[in-house]
């Protein structure tokens, strides 16, 4: 087991090193940001209004779930352990400056998230059951009509299925079981059993069942967690300016909580910030495009803009609150790691056991919702590889793996997840660069006609409409 773990650590070091995924991830986001003329900044408010207030696209005839349900399904898959344990891990190894690189990954990643969701809807297809199916496993082959595109699409599908058992299942279930055991003394086998039963009950209903469940509790879990974060920051208000100063200065020095050489160089902060950033918001990985492809929408641009708000909510809001709570309370120097560091920060800020309880409850909701979202991602990729006949067996195996993850020590699985995250992102990022011209042209054509996302045939000059 140690040799396997050492091997995965070595592979992760190459995949997430300074010459492969980090420059490709940031570079792709920057290229798309420029070619799309900063669409994530120009159209953020209309996109938030369409996704969170309007909630559905009037006149849409295709799709299995509403735009809002597609957004909450994607949020369910991304607002998970990465927002609690991932942020703390990045700060532990990379110092407060890692949070800066998580922000950068999120901001440029919004352009990547928009682009992959746009392509997911544009090139979606209908499976044998009449459900919409799309994502990189389809658009890479259909938009790049040669063997290169086909190879990219198949590689993505294989790596995504493997990743679904790591980032989307075992790591989430294990974090829940460990947190409940440490906070409330709940045996890990019992947590695993309950999660397995609940996951099976929801997953049997497919995307429509997942969409209904996530639409209900995803907003509530985010409000609970962010609300607790606001209270902690209010208590430590005087520390916020110093925290921001530390974040920006350490972004280029990398003073880690562990001290010593590991945190003494800029690349450590950069690596952990970007790696945990993509673990948290999944921008560039292509996974959220799978949920976007199931949405009822009248145009790919509209769903692309709704989908990009998921990265804003995940990274710029939820991750920021976690990072600031950890830094302002001084918990980043406590010696704790992962969710334990975040729990210590909230406990210090709220006093008593409230902090531990809130983090434990948040971990349960965040992680379980991620399990639901990633089960759909995995089954859509299985459907791409072997057809509809593979979906039910995949769901059965996925549910069983939830219990295994909850009751097993998972250092190897965490490193495996890092590797699979990177490998599934590679073909998608390459495809996004190849297709960036098409994305930019069609986006401009639509936004020139309907700049305020009113679904109207011509642009409006109404001064009361916020651009």
Count of CB atoms situated within 10 Å of the CB of 387: 11
Residues 65/213, Cβ–Cβ less than 8 Å: no
List, in sequence order, the alpha helices (H) in 62-96.
67-78, 81, 87-94
Q: Is 397 helix (H, G, I), strand (E, B) or coil?
A: helix
Domains of the chain: 12-449 (1.20.1740)
CA distance 429 to 457: 33
CA distance 430 to 436: 10
CA distance 186 to 297: 43
CA distance 118 to 286: 11
CA distance 195 to 329: 32
User: Cα Rg for the chain, rounded, in angstroms?
Assistant: 21
- pLDDT score at 254: 61
- C-alpha 256, offset from chain centre: 24
Torsion of CA 326, 329, 334, 337, to 10 degrees: -20
Residues 333/77, Cβ–Cβ less than 8 Å: no
- DSSP 8-class letter at 65: B
Residue 271 vs residues 12, 87, 373, 383: alpha-carbon distances, Å: 11, 13, 26, 34
- pLDDT score at 263: 43
Over the stretch 47-83, which tens digit does the pLDDT of each residue have?
Answer: 999 888 887 777 776 777 788 888 887 887 777 777 8
Over the stretch 211-261, which tens digit does the pLDDT of each residue have?
Answer: 888 777 788 888 889 999 999 999 999 999 999 999 998 888 766 555 444
DSSP output for 410-427? -HHHHHHHHHHHHHHHHH
Closest by CA position to 331, among listed 76, 1, 91, 67: 91
Phi–psi pair at 69, nearest 5 degrees: -65, -35
Count of CB atoms situated within 10 Å of the CB of 4: 11
- pLDDT score at 197: 94
CA distance 295 to 71: 9
**Burial class, 441, CB count within 10 angstroms (exposed 0-12 / middle 13-18 / buried 19+):** exposed
Planar angle of CA 199, 202, 208, nearest 5 degrees: 145
Count of CB atoms situated within 10 Å of the CB of 31: 18
Flag residues of the chain having pLDDT under 70: 1, 61, 254-267, 279, 456-467
Closest by CA position to 271, among listed 4, 8, 80, 19: 19
- pLDDT score at 257: 56
Pick left, alpha or beta for residue 352 (phi over 0 → left; psi -120 to 50 → alpha; otherwise beta): left
pTM: 0.89
DSSP output for 124-184? -EE-TTS-EE-SHHHHHHHHS-SHHHHHHHHHHHHHHHHHHHIIIIIHHHHHHHHHHHHHH
- pLDDT score at 251: 85
The secondary element (H helix, E strand) that includes residue 390 is none
Over the stretch 423-432, which tens digit does the pLDDT of each residue have?
Answer: 999 999 999 9
Q: 23: which residues sit within 8 A by CB, 6+ positions away?
A: none
- pLDDT score at 256: 58
Count of CB atoms situated within 10 Å of the CB of 388: 14
- pLDDT score at 338: 81
- pLDDT score at 274: 77
**Burial class, 409, CB count within 10 angstroms (exposed 0-12 / middle 13-18 / buried 19+):** exposed
Instruction: Kindly give the pairing relationship between strand 132-133 and strand 125-126.
Output: antiparallel
- pLDDT score at 264: 46
Distance between terminal CA atoms of the chain?
55
**Burial class, 467, CB count within 10 angstroms (exposed 0-12 / middle 13-18 / buried 19+):** exposed
Count of CB atoms situated within 10 Å of the CB of 302: 25
CA distance 150 to 85: 36
Count of CB atoms situated within 10 Å of the CB of 130: 7
């Amino acid at each position: 087991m140690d040799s396997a773990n050492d091997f995965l650590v070595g592979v992760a070091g190459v995949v997430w090193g300074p010459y492969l995924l980090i420059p490709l991830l940031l570079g792709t986001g920057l290229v798309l940001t420029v070619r799309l003329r900063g669409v994530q900044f120009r159209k953020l408010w209309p996109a938030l209004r369409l996704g969170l207030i309007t909630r559905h696209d009037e006149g849409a005839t295709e799709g299995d779930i509403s735009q809002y349900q597609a957004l909450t399904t994607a949020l369910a898959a991304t607002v998970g352990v990465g927002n609690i344990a991932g942020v703390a891990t990045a700060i532990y190894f990379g110092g407060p400056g890692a949070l800066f690189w998580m922000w950068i990954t999120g901001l440029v990643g919004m352009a990547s998230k928009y682009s992959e969701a746009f392509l997911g809807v544009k090139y979606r297809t209908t499976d044998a059951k009449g459900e919409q199916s799309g994502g990189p496993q389809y658009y890479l082959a259909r938009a790049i009509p040669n063997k290169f595109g086909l190879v990219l699409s198949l590689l993505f599908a294989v790596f995504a299925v493997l990743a679904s058992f790591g980032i989307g299942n075992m790591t989430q279930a294990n974090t829940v079981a460990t947190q409940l055991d440490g906070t409330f003394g709940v045996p890990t086998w019992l947590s695993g059993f309950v999660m397995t039963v609940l996951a099976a009950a929801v997953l049997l209903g497919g995307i429509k069942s997942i969409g209904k469940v996530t639409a209900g509790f995803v907003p509530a879990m985010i409000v609970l967690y962010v609300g607790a974060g606001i209270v902690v920051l209010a208590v430590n208000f005087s520390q916020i300016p110093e925290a921001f100063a530390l974040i920006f200065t350490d972004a280029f020095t990398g003073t880690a909580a562990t001290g010593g050489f590991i945190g003494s160089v800029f690349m450590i902060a950069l690596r952990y910030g970007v790696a945990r950033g993509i673990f948290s918001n999944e921008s560039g990985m292509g996974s959220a495009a799978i949920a976007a492809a199931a949405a009822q929408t009248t145009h790919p641009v509209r769903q692309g803009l709704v989908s990009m708000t998921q990265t804003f909510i995940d990274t710029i809001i939820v991750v920021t609150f976690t990072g600031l709570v950890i830094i302002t309370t001084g918990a980043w120097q406590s010696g704790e790691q992962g969710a334990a560091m975040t729990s210590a920060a909230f406990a210090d800020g709220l006093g008593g056991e409230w902090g531990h309880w809130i983090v434990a409850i948040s971990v349960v909701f965040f992680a379980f919702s991620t399990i639901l979202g990633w089960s759909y991602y995995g089954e859509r990729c299985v459907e791409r590889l072997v057809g509809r006949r593979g979906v039910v067996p995949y769901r059965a195996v996925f549910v069983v793996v939830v219990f295994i993850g909850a009751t097993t020590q998972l250092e190897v699985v965490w490193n495996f997840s890092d590797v699979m995250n990177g490998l599934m992102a590679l073909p998608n990022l390459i495809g996004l660069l190849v297709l960036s011209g098409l994305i930019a042209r069609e986006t401009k054509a639509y936004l020139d006609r309907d700049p305020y996302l009113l679904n109207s045939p011509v642009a409006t000059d109404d001064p009361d409409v916020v651009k």
